[in-house]
Structure 1
């Protein structure tokens, strides 16, 4: 399969993630962030386990617990704290430091080259997201800002370790293992910190199905596949497409207006993504310890 096809498939993941805000606010009951994350991760992981029928070796359980915690449990919990304590634009902008985090960690952990083109693309993407989503109501809450940065660090480290710890299986079972691990770690948090979910209606069922099947099972399979085939330093720049998709959906679905500054931010985001993928592979694949 060509590199262009791999890039296109990997780019679908952040585009799908960009629908999360609209689906969550329009279709799910409010006030259940951990339960929503649990129902997004665990059923998707179990479904993929049933499809692949490949269980992880016992020696991999520790690594899967780390990856599940970084990519799902800690990342989603931090996102929800940031979302509750910060305006959406501030949270999205702080989260957009993730590509810079990945570039630094990929250099330290994988030994990949830290090229000027990638640094420029990551910084330009961050500025583009800021122009796209920051508004006059922007404010910084220390706890919310810390949570947003912790989420970016968690997902960034999880992205790099997903490449570092490549098991001898295809991407689909590897995705199933991580989703299941992350969901199992979310289960006690949801049970302890949130009340029971109310009886679902048709809208919430549809929302949970979309977030589980498309927003977790499909998107993370494409994301982890992209990491394995293209490297984390290439794939992470595609994450700027997520806030861009969210803003465009707000314009299409909720009739929100786009200012000239937002249009400029959208153009900068697209330019940063183009520059990032044009930079080519960042280095040779890391050794695969068993």
Structure 2
């Protein structure tokens, strides 16, 4: 008799929700810490702490990281950590936490667009329409003036950061698919920490950041980066990437919610409209992409059986 040891559905739903809440909280922590640290110093603290949490995974798989891989790992490190983290932190100095969280949702749309441009992966008309609606949401977000403040620079920074994620996702899928995912993330974190170290040193704050900024920076690195990545890939191993990535749909919702509850940054109607457009575009695009994957997977299986590599 086989005993089913799989966790109950409610536990998986709870873990997905907590992951979305943690990643949404990263924009709150950046909003609190960035004004005291500055973008570069804060990101260096974040990446170093995240790398330390994930380093044991890299150590266990170190034999698979030959010298020839580190050039590509360095490029992915810049696109997946160093540049986007800095852009989001820079935006957090200038706009409410919800702005960065909403712009972060664009990563899924950029990933599809980059795959089309670089690898000629097909985009159906419905998926293309959904992506267009999502990008309209960015224009709406840029046009918002929250309490008289122009959030357009932060929205642009968030959109560019998401573009970096779109590039890194595609490069990771094509270059690092044979590596353990958490170990690969740890390697890119290590590269990013080394890249940013000189800039963080020259831009280290003259005044000692207050306790709240330090606590936020530590939470950002340990919880939102190191622990969150480990939990995310554990979920992928248990329930598959399709279900695990649904946690990212909750990030903008929690990003706006934490900013409102903790900092009193009440979202404007334009922010909510932009978030709805972007998130709706992402959800429709992802669903259409999964439907398209079914026949392509069958074709891939036939090709591999025929000896293609």
TM score, norm. by length of structure 2: 0.69
Aligned residue for 2:197?
Answer: 187
1:95-110 pair list within 5 angstroms: 97-110=106-119
Aligned residue for 1:123?
Answer: 132
Contact 2:31 2:89 in 1 (8 A): no
- Structure 1 unaligned segments of length 5 or more: list them: none
Give 1 or 2 for the bigger CA radius of gyration. Answer: 2
Alignment RMSD (CA, Å): 4.3
Q: CA deviation at 1:102?
A: 1.8
Contact 1:38 1:187 in 2 (8 A): yes
Residue of 216, 221, 243 corresponding to 1:212 = 221
How far apart, in 2, do the equivalents of 1:29 and 1:84 lie?
5
Residue of 237, 257, 281 corresponding to 1:248 = 257
Q: Count the aligned residue pairs.
A: 282
Q: 1:13 to 1:123 in 2, by over 3 A?
A: farther
SS in 1 for 2:179: coil
Residue of 44, 48, 52 corresponding to 1:42 = 48
1:153 aligns with 2:163: yes
How far apart, in 1, do the equivalents of 2:36 and 2:138 lie?
26
Q: CA deviation at 1:68?
A: 0.6
How far apart, in 1, do the equivalents of 2:27 and 2:136 lie?
21
Q: CA deviation at 1:64?
A: 0.8
Q: 1:43 to 1:26 in 2, by over 3 A?
A: closer
How far apart, in 2, do the equivalents of 1:140 and 1:25 lie?
14
How far apart, in 2, do the equivalents of 1:147 and 1:94 lie?
9
SS in 2 for 1:169: coil
Q: CA deviation at 1:19?
A: 1.1
Residue of 184, 190, 210 corresponding to 1:174 = 184
Residue of 32, 35, 39 corresponding to 2:38 = 32
- Structure 2 unaligned segments of length 5 or more: list them: 1-5, 301-308
Q: CA deviation at 1:166?
A: 2.0
Q: CA deviation at 1:33?
A: 2.0
Q: 1:102 to 1:9 in 2, by over 3 A?
A: farther
> Which structure has greater helix proportion?
2
Contact 1:39 1:208 in 2 (8 A): yes
Q: CA deviation at 1:181?
A: 1.2
Q: CA deviation at 1:60?
A: 0.9
How far apart, in 2, do the equivalents of 1:263 and 1:115 lie?
27
SS in 1 for 2:145: coil
TM score, norm. by length of structure 1: 0.73
Q: CA deviation at 1:155?
A: 2.2
Q: 1:65 to 1:208 in 2, by over 3 A?
A: same
Contact 1:159 1:227 in 2 (8 A): no
